[in-house]
Amino acid sequence: MSFFRRSPWILHYDGSSCNGCDIEVLACLTPLYDVERFGVVNTGNPKHADILLVTGSVNERNVEIVENLYRQMPDPKVVVAVGACACSGGIFARAYNVQGGIDRVVPVDVYVPGCAARPERIIDGVVQGIAALEGKRAAMAAGRRRGALRPQSGSQPAGAA
Amino acid sequence: MKRTIVPLGPQHPVLPEPLVLDLVLEDERVVDAVPTIGYIHRGLEAMVEKVEYTEMGFVAERICGICSFMHGMGFCASIEDIMGVEVPERARWLRLVWAELSRIQSHLLWLGLGSDAFGFENLFMHCWRMREEILDIFEATTGGRIIFSVNRIGGVKRDIADSELAGIAERLRALGERFAEIARVFRADPSIHHRLAGVGVLPAGEALAAGAVGPMARASGLATDTRLLGTHGYDRLDFEPVVEAGGDCLARVLVRLREVEQSIDLIRQLVDRMPKGDGQPIETRVRGLPDGETFMRLEQPRGEVVYYLKANGTKYLERFRARTPTFANIPAMISLVRGHDLADVPNIILTIDPCISCTER
Amino acid sequence: MDGERFLARVAAYRADGWRLSVINTTAVLPSDELPQGAFDISWSFALGTRLEHLRERVVPGEEVPSVSPSFPSAFLYENEMRELFGVDVTGIAVDLRGQLYRTATRVPFSPGAIRRRLEATGRLGDGARHAAKPQPRPTTEAGA
Ligand code: SF4
């Protein structure tokens, strides 16, 4: 897998999911799918994560947490929404405590469909996330060469300039 | 002594799910724990206002992605009870096959997470690899790995051919042999015993007072198992509830180990005793609107679940309530962490096998 | 409701070794007889294969005594009753002070809140919804 420029570190956060997508994310780490062989590492610390993987929708209470995690991640960073819930609120979109997909709070780069999302699709989503990450890094580097590095952005995606 | 409050969660060291406990500590010792939930609260029960009863089963399945099948089954059985629908013989047997497979799947998942929590990553991987075999069976028989939507009000959507059922029984027999090796590690490994034996002891009397259910109660010597009611067709199977006397974290692991073996045996019985022949009816057509109420109980992997449904002769139910096993087990868990060292808290929490999305709905 | 008599019956269940299985609340929408709506609350107890229920109908503002003297574990149900439904439960063993769920809508299952949601979907007055009195079969052991 030579096109993997480096090994992305993933931070997984479970919004108000039903567990289905979470378990599938976890299943990606286990022997049948084993994403670690591609160098993908699951971390619990946002300060050294590259990809934020969110399952489940945002509700009243976890909205700050998703925001917080995203803010703490270093640039460049990518957000992957896993499952129908994270993409749009899914089957729960009409429930009173659900606000919708996570793109309500943070910019999403890759949407992974499915209810539950299948492990193959999640892995594919991460691979696309890596491409997006590379793109952002290149843009940042170009910006730096021009001496126009933007200050560390708050909740804006980096390298969008 | 000075008291410190340590928040545990929501982004969790041991659970993929956001459970939050405010632990009140004196030095390293936990003196109290205050739960806050709500991070996964969706308001699922209120969706009966907007979703017709015929479709609500799909929402019920998504109460939780681990017990998904059982939630769908419980919902459909509740409506069938209210409407007096007779479910075809074959469908009842098939539901039990999937239900027991779900139990194996859930316990393997938990045994994996558990071993990861007490520092045994290798065992985690082994458990989850075995779990994939169960998911394979799910996928072959229903098309889904996690959420199958195979339950219908009045029966099931798909049949499993007799030959396929025999194949499943055979696969499970082989799985059981490999599981025995893993079970041996759980039972004999000194480092596991060191972490779990004597930790978080829940005496039988307390378990009863706290309303504990499922493996949690059975590990404390209470022979409660909703399957003993004989409903849903369990009366046609021979089994004894798995009971351990220890009441500690280790006993809770042992109960689940034995329940995997028990479920494998139950599926063998199901396949043996099921009336043979493909092409039997699997679904009763349901007409009309439900009117009335019911309490429906079912033994999920984590224990007794109680559904309460109230219908009023319209398309929309008046009330749908699911009291899931974790909800019943949280009070016992809170009393358990009191008096323990902070470092033991993760193990205690994990051994109740909490499912937060069930609890909050 | 008669609090004392109710608590005595709960205590009898405890003394006989029953387990508190579930406390369930159902909101009853406002009607001519019940201008503020009401709550149908059932306490379910399990022993062996049996499941029995106590049931009360209370109006908003009416005090419901906590069953925690007999079943301390009831605190989760009772906090939920107060937070999600707005039932006035008194004497909860562990009072979480409205911090259990923290929902977007305050008391989302109260008669008023349900009414507002139904109005919004244009389905208020749909059939016999919420008008019916509780039916006298609360002690069924449901089975498929
Ligand atoms: S998308 Fe489906 S499986 Fe995934 S969290 Fe949502 S309801 Fe569960």
- How far is B295 from C138, CA to CA, in rounded Å? 8
Strand order in the sheet with A41-43: A41-43, A9-14, A51-55, A78-82, A110-112
DSSP SS3 for B323: strand
Q: For the complex shown, is ipTM > 0.90?
A: no
A102 domain-assigned:
yes
B361 domain-assigned:
no
A113 domain-assigned:
yes
Pocket-testing residue among A58, A80, A91, ligand 1, by greatest number of atoms within 8 A of Cβ: A91
Burial class (CB in 10 A: 0-12, 13-18, 19+), B31: middle
Retrieve residue C21's tokens.
């299985």
- The verdict on C129 touching A (C-beta cutoff 8 Å) is no
Torsion of CA C30, C32, C36, C39, to 10 degrees: -60
- How far is B12 from B345, CA to CA, in rounded Å? 12
Retrieve residue B230's tokens.
């004989």
Chain centre to alpha carbon of residue A72: 13
Contacts of B117 in chain A (CB under 8 A): none
Q: How many CA atoms lie within 13 A of B179 on its CB side?
A: 27
- How far is C10 from A158, CA to CA, in rounded Å? 61
Q: List pLDDT tens digits, range B27-74.
A: 777 777 777 766 677 777 777 777 778 888 888 888 888 888 888 888
Judge whether residue B229 has pLDDT over 80.
Answer: no
Chain B: partners with 3+ C-beta pairs within 8 Å:
A, C
Q: Do C129 and B318 touch (CB under 8 A)?
A: yes
- Chain B window 189-208: which residues touch C at a Cβ cutoff of 8 Å? 208
DSSP SS3 for B317: coil
Contacts of B230 in chain C (CB under 8 A): 49, 143
A154 domain-assigned:
no
CATH number at residue A140: 3.40.50.12280
Domain that holds residue A55: 9-148
Retrieve residue B93's tokens.
């047997």
Closest partner CB to B43 (pick from A27, A97, A115): A97
Counted domains in chain A: 1
Counted domains in chain B: 1
Domain that holds residue B325: 3-353
Q: How far is B186 from chain C (nearest CA, A)?
A: 31
A68 domain-assigned:
yes
CATH number at residue B7: 1.10.645.10
Q: Spell out a b/e string for B165-196, using b for 16 or more CB atoms within 10 Å of the CB, else e.
A: beebbeebeebbeebeebbeebeeeeebeebb
Residue pair B113/B121 in contact by the 8 Å Cβ criterion = no
Domain that holds residue C58: 3-131
Give the atom of ligand 1 at the shortest distance from the alpha carbon of A83: 1
Contacts of A59 in chain B (CB under 8 A): 38-42
- How far is B303 from B356, CA to CA, in rounded Å? 14
B358 domain-assigned:
no
pLDDT at A153: 46
Q: How many CA atoms lie within 13 A of B161 on its CB side?
A: 4
Judge whether residue C130 has pLDDT over 70.
Answer: no
Nearest to B358 by CA among B37, B14, B113, B81: B37
- Chain B window 141-200: which residues touch A at a Cβ cutoff of 8 Å? 144-147
Residue of C nearest to A58 (CA): C104
pLDDT at C94: 67
Q: How far is B267 from chain A (nearest CA, A)?
A: 24
B145 lines ligand 1 (CB under 6 A): no
- How far is B73 from B227, CA to CA, in rounded Å? 14
pLDDT at B249: 84
Furthest CA-CA distance within chain B: 71
Residue pair C10/C71 in contact by the 8 Å Cβ criterion = yes
Contacts of C103 in chain A (CB under 8 A): 60, 96-97
pLDDT at C102: 61
pLDDT at B13: 54
Q: List pLDDT tens digits, range B269-327.
A: 888 888 887 777 777 788 878 888 888 888 888 888 888 888 877 777 778 888 888 88
Q: If you count residue pairs, one on A and one on B, with CB atoms under 8 Å apart, how many are there?
A: 118
Retrieve residue B15's tokens.
């659970």
**C42 C-alpha to center of ligand 1: Å?**
32
A155 domain-assigned:
no
Instruction: Name the more confident of B204 and C113.
Output: B204
Counted domains in chain C: 1
One-letter amino acid of C86:
G
B81 domain-assigned:
yes
Three-class HEC string of C71-90: CHHHHHHHHHHHHHHCCEEE
C19 domain-assigned:
yes
